[in-house]
Each structure stands twice: as structure tokens, then as C-alpha cells.
Amino acid sequence: MQVAREEIIVLGTGGTIAGRAASAADNVGYRAGELGVDELLRGVPVPPGVRLHAEEVAQIDSKDMDFAVWATLAGRCAHWLAQEDVAGVVVTHGTDTMEETAFFLHRVLGPGKPVVLTGAMRPATSAAPDGPQNLADAIAVAADPQVRGVCVVFAGAVHGASDVQKVHSYRTDAFSSGDAGPLAYVEEGRLRVLRPWPGPATKGAAPALLRPAAWPRVEILVNHAGAGRAIVDALVKDGVAGLVVAGTGNGTVNHALEAGLLEAQQHGVAVRRASRCAQGRVLPTPNDRLPAAVGLSPVKARIALMLELMP
Ligand code: ASP
């Protein structure tokens, strides 16, 4: 007999959606991660036949997201997704690193059910908060049987984990999927699907996932006018396992930085080239001596490399 999937799990991690300011007019001078996930759900409409279960995983400003919280969050998502009556998981999250957490969960869970991240640009105490609508939309998306895998629901749009980026520091419509565009829109609790849903990522089952202290250290650096190799040399000396360079344009780096990176690579440090451009992707060429992180932003290339190097 098939069990009806009617439960949506809402995992709280903090962020502006749970933020509190001294005045309703203040949309920037707030403390993130103050309200509990139960409080966020109060009054939020739920699709017919759906039950919600809330759980607090963390209470942080997502600028402070770290490996320990990621490991716990991935564990809680995996636990709930394995329950037959659970249709999907919603994660409330700060916007600053939401794209990183989405991509991390995409790569480590590769879920067949929906895992939907959402948040807010204005605190819960704002005169016009955006969190309640985003949360209602995220729950509707998680309950939709067409949806699978990890996505971000924000300002009425559904973004895939691989494409989504925070592109604005203040506007409520702060996320974009760049050239790819959103997967769908959410309109009055219904999905308007725009393009084929991406398949699940190949699930990485590294044993070290449960031991965040053992995760390999991968750092990001930037090519810019006058960039030198001093940072590379210092990081190699400090025992870094991998380096992602946010190159200029098509992932290019200047001569000094390239020399440093090639030497690092010779010494066993894994190097990937991404682009500091907000849109587009690094296109590899036959003569590349430093491998391109094709299609990944620097922060996502860092996660991909970290998982690749994970024992
Ligand atoms: N600093 C906040 C955070 O990422 C910003 C937000 O949630 O919009 O937690």
C-alpha cells in the first residue's frame, strides 16, 4: 500500500527571515536569527491536506554558516527525506550564503524529493516583511509532486541549486539564475514551470561528511589588476588542500598569479579556475594548464572541489 505523502518538514537555520529590529521602519539594522521557526510559521497558509513539522537546526546569520551546521543540516534533511510520509523539506536560511547551502545539499543529498530553501531580505519585524510570502511559496513548492531536488524559492521564482546566485544586497527580488533563468514561478500557490526540471546530482557519499572537522580546506582568491602570488604562496605554506581562483573574464589570471598557481598545483594543491563575472561560464581551451570549473561560480566551485577532495 502506498503511504500518502502529506508532511512537509520545515528546518530553521536563522537568517533575516527570523530577524528582529527595534522598529518596524528598520529593514537593515536588525539581528538575524532571533525568531524560532514555529513563530515564522504562524499564520502562513498551508496547502490543503498538508501537515507541517518544524525543527530548529541553527539560529545564525548565514554569513557565519560553517561546516558543522552544514553537516547537521544535511543529516536532518536525509533523516526526514527517508520517511515515507514526508513529501519534502523546506529550509529557512539567511540569504547571504543560501546559494552555497543549496548547492552543498544538492551535491551531497541528490534528493528525489524536494528540498526548498527560502528566506527574506527584510526582518520579521518589518512593516512589510517578505518572509511570510516566501515561506508560503516554499511550502507550496515542496508540496508539489512535480518538484524534486534542491531549489531556492524567492520573490515568486524557483531557482535551481546549480544556477542560483544572490545578486542584490537590498532588493526583495535578490536572487537570479543568470543566463539559465528560473525553473518556475509560484503564483497563488501554483507552479508555472518554465523549463525541464534538472535531474538529481550524483550523490557524493564521502565518509568524512559526518566529520566536518576533517573536511579539506579549499580557499578562494581573486585575479585583479596588479594581483600577485603572495596569497597563493602563503596558503600553500599554511597547508591548503585546494584553491579556486575567481579569474577575470573567461577565468584568466595574470602571469604572477598563474606562476604561483602552477607551482601550487605541482606541489599537489588542487586548483580550479572560475570567473569573477556575475554571469556566463568559463569555457575550457585545449591549452589550459589550470582546469576550469565549468559552469560554477567561485563559491560553488569551492564546494565542488572540497567534496571532490573529501576522503
Ligand atoms: N545576513 C543575513 C543572513 O544571511 C541576510 C539575510 O538573511 O537576508 O543571514
Stretch 173-179: mean pLDDT: 97
Q: Which residue's CA lies nearest to atom 3 of ligand 1? A: 94
What distance in angstroms lies between residue 273's CA and the mean position of ligand 1's atoms? 28
Q: Which residue's CA lies nearest to atom 1 of ligand 1? A: 61
What distance in angstroms lies between residue 151's CA and the mean position of ligand 1's atoms? 18
What 3 state SS string does 69-116 have? HHHHHHHHHHHHHCCCCEEEEEEECCCCCHHHHHHHHHHHHCCCCEEE
Task: Give the residue numbers marked as catalytic.
Answer: 16
What is the maximal distance between C-alpha atoms in the chain? 66
**pLDDT of amino acid 204:** 63
Of 26, 27, 57, 96, the one to substitute when testing ligand 1's pocket (max ligand atoms within 8 A of C-beta) is 96
Tell me the pLDDT band of 28, cut-offs 50, 70 and 90: very high
Cα separation, 84 vs 87, whole angstroms: 8
- Chain position carrying cell 529550509: 91
Q: With 80 as the cut, is the pLDDT of residue 203 above it?
A: no
Stretch 201-230: mean pLDDT: 88
Cite the residue boundaries of each domain of the chain with CATH code 3.40.50.40. 216-309
Q: Are 158 and 186 in contact (CB under 8 A)?
A: yes
pLDDT tens digits, 72-108: 999 999 999 999 999 999 999 999 999 999 999 999 9
Stretch 41-63: mean pLDDT: 96
Cα separation, 292 vs 303, whole angstroms: 14
* Ligand 1 within 6 A of CB of 92: no
Domain 7-193 sits in CATH at 3.40.50.1170
Cite the residue boundaries of each domain of the chain with CATH code 3.40.50.1170. 7-193
What distance in angstroms lies between residue 127's CA and the mean position of ligand 1's atoms? 18
The model scores a pTM over 0.75: yes
Say which CATH topology domain 216-309 has. Rossmann fold (3.40.50)
Q: With 80 as the cut, is the pLDDT of residue 5 above it?
A: no
Tell me the pLDDT band of 1, cut-offs 50, 70 and 90: very low
Tell me the pLDDT band of 166, cut-offs 50, 70 and 90: very high
Q: With 90 as the cut, is the pLDDT of residue 209 above it?
A: no
* Cα angle 146, 156, 188; round to 5: 70
pLDDT tens digits, 130-143: 999 999 999 999 99
3-class state of residue 151 by DSSP = strand
